[in-house]
Amino acid sequence: MYLAVYWPLWIIFVWTYVMVVTTSPGEVKKLIPAAERPPEEPASQRRDSESARSIYYRPPDAAREAGEGDVAEDAAADEAEAVGAFGPVLGGLAVSAAPVDASQEPSLAASSSAPLDPPEHVQTIRPTRSEAHSERTDVEKAEPALERRPPTTPILDPYYRWCRRCERVKPYRAHHCRHCGTCVLGMDHHCPWVGHCVGSRNLRYFNQFLWWASTYCVFVLIVTAIDLFPPGGGRDLDGQELALLVVAGLFAFFTLGMVGTHIPLLLTNTSTIEAMAAAHKRERENYRLARAFPWYDCKSRSTVRRRWDDEWGHFRTEANLWWLGSPRANFEAAMGKSKLGWFLPIPIRDGRDGLNYPVNPRFTSDGVQRPREHWPAELR
């Protein structure tokens, strides 16, 4: 009875592991020819993002005087992070730049660790201090609002998707992995257990591996525990079985933790790297709210957050660049439509190559977030 369950579990567990190890995540170097870095599209021609930018852009000085001391640092960090999120990835972590003071903006590239050149237009659209003063409206002066400030860098512009190590324009969602020495399609993370990256082409196998590995470990854990401590008692402790119990318990804990973190990612069409960038932004917002309101004033904090979400959308869903409209659509984007294919590591043909991804229509075509009032009418 025990073996009738054990062996099928073991076979599927090993099968998924073999599939994830032998399937390349999609190496950009092998798929895309080398090219020169594309020129940056002049800001004047980028009407899409310019219009989005003008809506929520606030001069750093205006905001600072309005009581938002970190606005410049936040904005600079946002810009750099947006670039960094698509820049090289070191050890599975997205590189983000150190906060830069607004007064040192021209030296943004020199002082930050962002791997790419500075987004020049960002400097050009920022008014000087005197302009900032003259442009402030009476409403702004009278009513300093605590605003959400999404990054304004058009991160999907080929200029910002250039990898200087691979000398190629990265497809959407690709990141550079220094362990693999190439950009990886739809990179999730570099997995030492697998020996290479988890990316768009082996993400399904990786998730299946997690599910079956955790099922296998939990099964071994339960069976060993029952055998070691039978309900009636009266059995001598077996050292070998006790060791198995501990090892199975550790692996069950680890793999269940991974399952618990990856299922929400599947349902929101988010990679581990993207989730970390989103969490970083969220932390900065929390910090701003914590400075604006005393610790016991949870109500005000949640009111402001709700207002922000009303204006921009929730960061996991509408304000997620890769959100496809529903958890089911997101799940199927990674796991396919075939229910058998969800659980078994069988190859499926669904036409997806990891090179192209639909962009959330709530963003501009070059990846700048827009407020709700500028979303397509049917999505508002």
Q: How far is the CB of 275 from Zn ion (least distance, A)?
A: 17
Indicate the length of the chain as a whole number: 380
Choice from 37, 64, 179, 314 touching Zn ion (CB under 5 A): 179
Q: What six digits make up the tokens of 174?
A: 């690709």
The helix or strand, by DSSP H or E, that contains position 163, with its residue range, turns out to be strand 162-163
Q: How far is the CB of 202 from Zn ion (least distance, A)?
A: 11
Choice from 89, 97, 122, 177 touching Zn ion (CB under 5 A): 177
- Residue count, binding to Zn ion (CB under 5 A): 10
Q: How far is the CB of 208 from Zn ion (least distance, A)?
A: 20
Distance (Å) of CA 203 to CA 52, 81, 316: 33, 25, 20
Q: What six digits make up the tokens of 361?
A: 């229509």
Cβ closest to Zn ion, residue 82 vs residue 197: 197
Residue appearing with tokens 């960061």: 315
Q: Within positions 181 to 220, which residues make up the interface with Zn ion, using CB under 5 A? A: 183, 190, 197
- For 215, list phi and psi in degrees, rounded to 5: -60, -45
Choice from 126, 148, 161, 176 touching Zn ion (CB under 5 A): 176
Cα separation, 176 vs 94, in Å, equals: 9
Cβ closest to Zn ion, residue 97 vs residue 180: 180
Choice from 72, 166, 194, 368 touching Zn ion (CB under 5 A): 166
| Residue 9 engages Zn ion in binding (rule: CB under 5 A) | no
Cβ closest to Zn ion, residue 149 vs residue 176: 176
Tell how strand 189-191 and strand 196-198 pair up.
antiparallel
Strand, coil or helix: what is 258?
A: helix
| Residue 76 engages Zn ion in binding (rule: CB under 5 A) | no
Identify which of 271, 96, 83, 281 has the alpha carbon closest to the alpha carbon of residue 184: 271
Q: How far is the CB of 17 from Zn ion (least distance, A)?
A: 17
Cα separation, 20 vs 345, in Å, equals: 9
Strand, coil or helix: what is 124?
A: helix
Cβ closest to Zn ion, residue 187 vs residue 319: 187
Cβ closest to Zn ion, residue 146 vs residue 197: 197
Cβ closest to Zn ion, residue 116 vs residue 304: 116
- The residues of the shown chain that bind Zn ion, judged by CB under 5 A, are 163, 165-166, 176-177, 179-180, 183, 190, 197
